Structure 1
């Protein structure tokens, strides 16, 4: 896999499934078992015989399709639908209803049937091999004009941050896949707000428990273990820099700064860190605009090259003023004006022109400038919540040391206070840091990456009641 492919969604191909009509069922069973092809479905098709029996069996009066069934399996050979209804076999009826729905979308000519769909390019040889056993073929087709392929983010092996992106939305097929950069930014922001070596170590232990599937009632949260592990490691690194180990216990030296002793310095560092993240998001957004609509569109877009020029110029101008470097300030101001002018031209062209167009452009331009400043300053919350976390830990530690000097009862009270206070501050601050990092990710960063919404790749996957080919190990594709 090349470097460019690693930062983009999985490459999709438009395909046609061509098979003899007599083998259509066998081919569909194999496709469903593979789970790597998204087949086009007939629009406004009448419910099939299996779907009618399924709704009758479940007492449904709605028009919900067979996809709403929670679980389904397919029989290798065509089953007796009346017998399935009599036995109340909901799973086989649901699978048969889905198969009939796909079969309705087939184009038939003579003795041949064909279905169109999408398939990951890398999976085509495997799917073609399975179809060949049924006498069919998988044929690549040109992509339809005006239709983007569905988006499938790369699963990333055992560690994947794709859920962070898909929770926000589905990137357009032409866009970059920001899963790993977004995941790293998230855990870094969490660590800054939750900087404590001891608390971070507890998060790492929690991630390990999730990875091992313990406790079982939280097994469904297992896919979140990379976020928990990354947040724990980032918290430990930030805690080492702050000299915090379950608070200011003095067990660790301060490698960088103590939040409570240098709040202004921490605040400035948080804003600079956020400005760097925003610059990267602007650059990625510019790449996305080029990939979506070409240089003509990207050059003038507020989330494209023009917006990137404005933000970099503004950052350079501010840095020049703060560091007393007039040439840098002038160069930055010039670059910012050029970028803002390009944005204004694009906004004015989208209006009806005249005085009303100028007024509308001025309002939109003012909004761009204000949002740029507020989004940058919004990262000050990294320092604010980092200070809150440190203050709570300091309060618990001061109370613990104060009680410990009053005899045996005082020591017992100190242990109880430390355990209860640590648990309370840990739970409260972990929740706050997690929510705030997510907010910064979505509103400040992703808003610059995404403009167009993509469509998720949803392959059709229904397991067989018994393997169609006992010599083949079936590994379905990711649902995207």
Structure 2
């Protein structure tokens, strides 16, 4: 897979599906079985076909999954055999056939197809007299979004899909969002021992033979990434099942230098926010050109405000006058551009101007609060270290007593680490997700896409 395909939803093609007007069923059946075409919605009125009427008379059971037979089935025989699934499949063909546009001897339906699926679809339709005709994209219509279905990114799509459907024009942030998530999780769950346990859990989920773990398989890459990040930060902090001194601290020990760690957490947040603004600017350009990219609060205007206020704060804190001046100019330009964009969006006039002022103040306040929010990366990292330190202190105290207390020490160590692992894993997972959604995705996404939902009614694998 090329890198462009990783950073963009699957390319879609607008198509017309053509078939003989009097022999449209096999063409539609081939389309339904392929499951690669999102057809335009049929009219609201239902088809008045034999299968549809029979299904309405029988009542559609809950959970009925329609299937097709290669040839038109005998509906009475299907009813006698209890094959309502075949009747339901035939009813879907009737509805689609009724929605087809007919001209002379040809019937046509319009829809969207992934470009990579076009050759295979054409081969399926050709034996039945059908054809696929590419069409230009209608003006103002957003194609449906399908994220890549191959490669490592497929194991990470749930992270983005839970928040929103990526607009077709936008960059697909799945891989970048996954990396950001595991970094934030690792900083809060910083323990080399606990991280290695996550790595082992990921290996068990991915390659293990336990059926109970099969439902976790789509998330194995998250477990692996989180485990590696946690191990890395644990090595940096000298944490391995707590302050056991099994590892030297390559950077710092969280409880010994809390202020330095808090500053580092905010710095990591600043880098992630800068990346979100950069991605948001690209998306605004792809959605509406340079004008939208320039004036959007999640585009150049917001990025300039963020950069300028950061330079201003750095100049003031470090007593660097020129940096503060440059920061003031950059922030001022960004806020003016953002106000102009907000004013236009509000409709202008006095009420629009007042609304734009309120939204601009909110933009500035959120810039500061969102940045400070990343201090939780350090705060929960220290919480993890503190809990592990309590467990280790209790373990060593019992161990030094000797005798039966040694067994108690082992139990305290195992149970304490189990509780810390479960509690901090849950907290770190939720907090990393919160930062991803509220601080980062709110800048990456400005609109929501339309998910690709292909029409899929497969051929029956067996007959009754």
Gaps of 5+ in 1: 61-67, 468-480
Query: 1:249 maps to what in 2?
Result: 244
Aligned-CA RMSD value: 2.0
Q: Please give the secondary structure, in 2, of the residue aligned with 1:175.
A: coil
Point out where structure 2 has 5 or more consecutive residues left out of the alignment. none
Pairwise CA distance, 1:73: 2.3
Q: Provide the rounded CA distance (Å) in 1 between the counterparts of 2:461 and 2:176.
A: 42
User: Aligned runs of 1:159-198 on 2, under 5 Å?
Assistant: 159-160=153-154, 161-198=156-193
Are residue 123 (structure 1) and residue 124 (structure 2) matched? no
Using the alignment, how far apart are the partners of 2:267 and 2:77 within structure 1? 69
Cα deviation, residue 151, structure 1? 0.6
Residues 165-190 of structure 1 show CA distances to partners (whole Å, capped at 9, x for unaligned) of: 11101021111100000010001100
Deviations 1:362-403 (A, max 9, x none): 211110100110011111111111111111111111111111
- State the partner residue of 2:292: 297
With the length of structure 2 as denominator, give the TM-score of the two structures: 0.94
Q: Tell me, yes or no, if structure 1 residue 395 matches structure 2 residue 396.
A: no
2:133 counterpart of 1:104: no
SS at match of 2:244: coil
Question: Where does residue 12 of structure 1 map in the other structure?
Answer: 12
CA contact (8 A) 1:41 1:101 kept: no
Pairs aligned (count): 460
> Is 1:451 matched up with 2:446?
yes
Whether the 8 Å contact between 2:182 and 2:226 is mirrored in structure 1 is yes
Q: Does 1:27 align with 2:27?
A: yes
Q: Does 1:414 align with 2:409?
A: yes
Please state if 1:349 is matched with 2:361.
no
**Higher mean C-alpha displacement, 285-294 vs 48-57:** 48-57
Question: 3-state SS of the aligned residue for 2:147?
Answer: coil
TM-score, normalised with respect to structure 1:
0.91
Which has the higher mean CA deviation after the structures are superposed, 370-379 or 101-110? 101-110
Please say which of residues 216-225 and 139-148 is displaced more in the overlay.
216-225
Shift of 1:89: 1.9
Task: Look up the SS of the partner of 1:405 in the other structure.
Answer: helix
Q: How much does 1:158 deviate?
A: 4.5
Q: Which moved more, 1:91-100 or 1:45-54?
A: 45-54
**2:16/2:110 contact within 8 Å kept:** yes
Q: Secondary structure at the match of 1:133?
A: helix
Q: Distance in 1 between matches of 2:336 and 2:246?
A: 55
Question: Counterpart in 2 of 1:79?
Answer: 73
User: Which position in structure 1 is the counterpart of 2:139?
Assistant: 145
Shift of 1:33: 2.3
**Quick one: structure 1 residues 231 and 75, their matched pair in 2 at CA, closer, same or farther if it must change by over 3 Å?**
same
Pick the aligned partner of 2:323 from 304, 321, 328. Answer: 328
How far off is 1:216 after superposition? 1.5
Asked if 1:50 corresponds to 2:51, the answer is yes
Give the aligned partner of residue 237 of structure 1: 232
Counterpart residue number, 1:477: none
**1:136 aligned partner:** 130
